[in-house]
Structure 1
Amino acid sequence: MKVLEFFSGIGGMHFALKGSEIESEVLLAVDINPVSNEIYKYNFPDVHLVNRNIQSLSPNFLNKLGADTILMSPPCQPFTRNGSKGDVNDPRSQALIHILNILPHINISRILIENVKGFETSQMRDLVVQTFDKCGFSYQEFLLSPSQIGIPNSRLRYYCLAKKAPYKFEFDTGPLIYNLPNQSENSLKFKIGDILEAGDKEQYYLPMKILKKYWKVLDICYEDSQRSCCFTKAYNRYYEGTGSVFSHISKNDAQKILQELKTQTLDESSQEFLLSSLKLRYFTPSEVSKLQCFPEHFKFPKMITNRQKYMVLGNSINVEVVSNLINLLT
């Protein structure tokens, strides 16, 4: 498999490719985000990575590379629940539209697309599958979450696999499906406690002013938890719906404290004492990357800040899910 990695980000697709059963080589990675590119380059120094607008890529240039596969995770903002929902009219959709426009003129036989839930009902999705039909691709669309394959994290995403003859799917294709073909019985691969970093994490503890304002809406995980919420690029900056937090005490103890906090007669000092007793902290960037199944050897360059780490992870993929899908592209 000779791969073009478009919207390459921090290299999630590349790690998924390496984790698959397929012999492959990434011939070109393309992204315009300088922070993501620094991280990608740090982890894959030998890959031809270009900071370039995808709309500048011509069929002639791409055909000279000799690739047969495209892996891509286009910008999701035009399709997100909290985004502009500009769909095909959003300027950030123009790069994907360009790829679809040149697809009839490039020698590509296999494609994987990842995006947010909501893409499946978009005008862009209709344009994608119309182009696949026009170019002679068979395809299958999915809505999948890591929790379906034993990963203790929810990250529901849209995926589309496409193949051009002579390649064929080894399963019957059809309408949108919600599981991997021939998926074995779900068994937990690890618990939250298995991905926790050792050492003092004082810098990650939630400030008291945040606890007092948001404790009722926080999603709390514990060492024995077998689930966590989806982490977004706003994690560590916004507090509701951006990802789970971790408590160093047991779930039973925490629930007793949370029940006490609901008492209307608490004075401020008592409330602060109870909130402190919860020992709530953010997951570290390394822990978030592990929940997204990045390998142990994935690293950030030293100059990348925690805020930048959370943002790029929030825009990235679950490596294990994509790796399973890449195996279906053979």
Structure 2
Amino acid sequence: MRVLELYSGIGGMHIAFKESTVKHEVVAAVEINGVATDVYKYNFPNTLTLNRVIESFSPDYVCSLNANVWSLCPPCQPFTRLGKRMCEADNRSSSFFHVLDLISILKPAGIILENVKGFEHSEPWRRLIEVLNSCDYEYRQFLLSPLQFGIPNCRLRFYLLARLRSSSWNSNFKMGKSESIDLRPPIDAPMLPGCQCTSCSGVISHIEHTDDNFTEYIQFCRPISEFLLVPSDSSKELYFLDEKCLQRYFRVLDIVRSCDKKTRCFTKGYSKRLEGTGSVFQTSMENEDSFANWFKKYLRSTIEKLTSDYFDDATFFSSSWLIKTSEKITNFYEANKEDEQAVLQYAKLLKLRFFHSREVANMMCFPKSFGTLS
């Protein structure tokens, strides 16, 4: 298998090919972002990296690379739920239409595409399906989240696998020409050798339906604690939320603890924007006793202000309440939002910090050996 990576980023798809154990060679990686290209080169120095716009590639040049599988991870911003959803009107979609022209001409034997949820309702998706049908590809589409594989991160993504009908590939993996989208990991896909994820191990094979929050899968996910930096790694600087951030954004934060099994999707704006860009980590669990003492004292002085709709006396003073889930933190905020000082003191005691980039990489399953530029 000779792979051409288009929109290669920092090399996530390269790692996926490597860990699949399928015999392959990445013949070239194409990425317009200079920083991403540098990180890719750092980790895969023997792979040809091309820091160029895709529109500059002619059919003859791409043909000369002799790649029979193309991986595509086009820019997600035109389709993202936090973006403007301009789809084909976004200039960042123009390179993808050029890729579709190249597919029509060169007809690679296999295509792998990844994008955000929302791509499957766009004009670029419709054009892609049109090209695949006209060129006689069979294909299969998915919307999958890491939560379905035991990873505590909700990052719903669209995947498409396509195979040219006339290719010589033999596989038990069923494909066709249906525009339906699978919402579960494929049970007919071959298991990865040595993989212990909940899909390959068959742990979640009985789950037939799930809600938008993947509630049924969360119980099978690994805890966040398994993805954190080890305490002895003092070389990694951790960034705590300051008082200004807490005052302004506390009400919209998704706060998680080491024992939790779900984090929100981390986006490019993480740590720069606070709303909708990813979870923050609560570090105060190790000081639970001191927090509990303060909290009980505060509650005794303010209990007459709170309504039974939020709490009752038994709930207040139970140890389970003092395990501060996001829902209960939200309830506390709603019941006390007029008392800004109390809310701020409460927020400060949680000792909230951003996840380190290495921790985010761990939850995206980048190997420990994967390095970044200093």
TM-score w.r.t. structure 2 length?
0.75
Which segments of 5 or more consecutive residues in structure 2 lack a partner in the other structure? 188-198, 205-218, 286-320
Match in the other structure for 2:54? 54
Q: Quick one: distance in 2 between partners of 1:31 and 1:24?
A: 20
Amino acid at match of 1:218: L
Q: Quick one: distance in 2 between partners of 1:212 and 1:88?
A: 39
Amino acid at match of 2:322: N
Q: Could you say if the C-alpha distance between residues 185 and 49 of structure 1 is closer, same or farther in structure 2, counting changes exceeding 3 Å?
A: same
State which drifts further: 109-118 or 55-64: 55-64
- What aligned pairs does 1:105-124 form with structure 2 within 5 A after superposition? 105-124=105-124
Match in the other structure for 1:2? 2
Match in the other structure for 1:286? 358
1:15 and 2:52 matched: no
Match in the other structure for 1:233? 268
- How far off its partner does 1:136 sit? 1.3
- What aligned pairs does 1:156-305 form with structure 2 within 5 A after superposition? 156-165=156-165, 166=167, 167=169, 170-171=173-174, 173=176, 174=178, 175-182=180-187, 183=199, 184-186=202-204, 188=220, 190-199=222-231, 203-250=238-285, 252-254=322-324, 262-263=335-336, 266=339, 268=341, 270-302=342-374
Residues 253-272 of structure 1: CA deviation (Å, up to 9, x unaligned) = 4357766554367473x544
- How far off its partner does 1:202 sit? 6.7
State which drifts further: 190-199 or 129-138: 190-199
Q: Could you say if the C-alpha distance between residues 211 and 172 of structure 1 is closer, same or farther in structure 2, counting changes exceeding 3 Å?
A: same
- How far off its partner does 1:189 sit? 5.5
Q: Quick one: distance in 1 between partners of 2:324 and 2:142?
A: 37
Q: Quick one: distance in 2 between partners of 1:134 and 1:297?
A: 42
Residues 87-141 of structure 1: CA deviation (Å, up to 9, x unaligned) = 2232111111111112132251000111111111111111001101111110111
- What aligned pairs does 1:123-134 form with structure 2 within 5 A after superposition? 123-134=123-134
Match in the other structure for 1:320? none
Q: Quick one: distance in 2 between partners of 1:193 and 1:222?
A: 8
Size of the aligned set, in residue pairs, is: 301
State which drifts further: 183-192 or 214-223: 183-192
Q: Quick one: distance in 2 between partners of 1:13 and 1:148?
A: 19
Q: Quick one: distance in 2 between partners of 1:110 and 1:252?
A: 53
Q: Could you say if the C-alpha distance between residues 276 and 51 of structure 1 is closer, same or farther in structure 2, counting changes exceeding 3 Å?
A: same
Residues 288-309 of structure 1: CA deviation (Å, up to 9, x unaligned) = 011111111111111xxxxxxx
Residues 144 and 156 of structure 1 are in contact (CA less than 8 Å); yes or no, is this contact kept in structure 2? yes
Q: Could you say if the C-alpha distance between residues 259 and 138 of structure 1 is closer, same or farther in structure 2, counting changes exceeding 3 Å?
A: closer
Residues 257 and 278 of structure 1 are in contact (CA less than 8 Å); yes or no, is this contact kept in structure 2? no
| Pair member with larger Rg | 2
Residues 219-278 of structure 1: CA deviation (Å, up to 9, x unaligned) = 11111111111001111011111100111234834357766554367473x544322210
Residues 59 and 106 of structure 1 are in contact (CA less than 8 Å); yes or no, is this contact kept in structure 2? yes
Amino acid at match of 2:75: P
3-state SS in 2 of match to 1:4: strand
Q: Could you say if the C-alpha distance between residues 8 and 249 of structure 1 is closer, same or farther in structure 2, counting changes exceeding 3 Å?
A: same
- How far off its partner does 1:204 sit? 0.9
3-state SS in 1 of match to 2:322: helix
- How far off its partner does 1:185 sit? 2.7
For the aligned residue pairs, the C-alpha RMSD in angstroms reads 2.1
